[in-house]
Amino acid sequence: MPAQMNSSTENLVEISGLEFSYGPRKLLKGLNLKIQGGKLVAILGASGSGKSTLLRLIGGQAKPDRGTIKVAGVVVHELDTRALYALRRKMGMMFQAGGLFTDISVFENIAFPMREHTKLPESVLRRIVLMKLQAVGLRGTHALAPSELSGGMARRVALARAIAVDPMLAMYDEPFGGLDPISINVIANLIRRLNDALGATSIVVSYDVSEAVKLVDYVYVIADGVVAGEGTPDEMLASKDPYVYQFMHAKPDGPIAFHYPGRPIGEELGVRRSVR
């Protein structure tokens, strides 16, 4: 049995019976998970398993068809607009591919959430921005445009923006995608170090097993709309569950099919078998 999270009073995020569909396609089918406060948790799964959608649901960008999502004891999808924005002020998000605003400087990208959510004087805001950039090793880039950054540097700026307001919950959507090994290692170490320094709770969504298991405290693996397995990184690597084993060890054979369901290729091509 995988290690269980602590009591619900210590869980910052609680999801139960979560169902969500895109039109006729049912993506999440009764998903349950809990994320303990102060922990760094990975949500892993194959492409298209609903990992990024789950972050959107936690942040209130989408509403579930059924089930509940609680953050800090509050049901996210029952909040009105004002209350939802208030909750989002306590969240930080690093989007896939960074998501930096291309027409403003690095400094203004990081200042943006503080300008939106606080009334800090400019002198204080400037110090915070420079401190966040210093934390990711990029203080000297504050006047640059995002187009002047390398891919790894852009991700580090996006990370600095995600933690700009010292969120209680930081979410990272595929933070390692498309990066070279050195940049991946830098980003992974930053996520771990910043989570611990801020005393925050962090969720890393990824399909990069090798990096995630070195980084996090706890792992959830999603398959077919539910949690296929959960536990510490070591427990998940040792799992004998067919899906979890195939995914965690990148095995070609197992429940995860290479081909998307469809008609036989012969039918698609109009090839008929000869009759003898």
Write down all domains in the chain, each with its CATH number in brackets. 1-90+201-253 (3.40.50.300)
Q: Percent of the chain at pLDDT above 70?
A: 93
Contact predicate 210/184, CB 8 Å: no
Give me the mean pLDDT over the 66-87 stretch.
94
75: alpha, beta or left, given left = phi > 0 and alpha = psi -120 to 50?
beta
pLDDT given at position 253: 77
Higher pLDDT, 31 or 166: 31
Q: Read off the pLDDT of residues 108-149 as tens digits, 9 standing for 90 and up.
A: 999 998 898 888 899 999 999 999 999 888 999 999 999 999
Instruction: List the one residue out of 141, 140, 190 whose CA is nearest residue 170.
Output: 190
**Distance (Å, rounded) from C-alpha 240 to C-alpha 157?**
39
One-letter amino acid of 21 = S
Mean of the per-residue pLDDT values of the chain: 88
Comparing 119-123, 238-242, 261-265, the range with the smallest average pLDDT is: 261-265
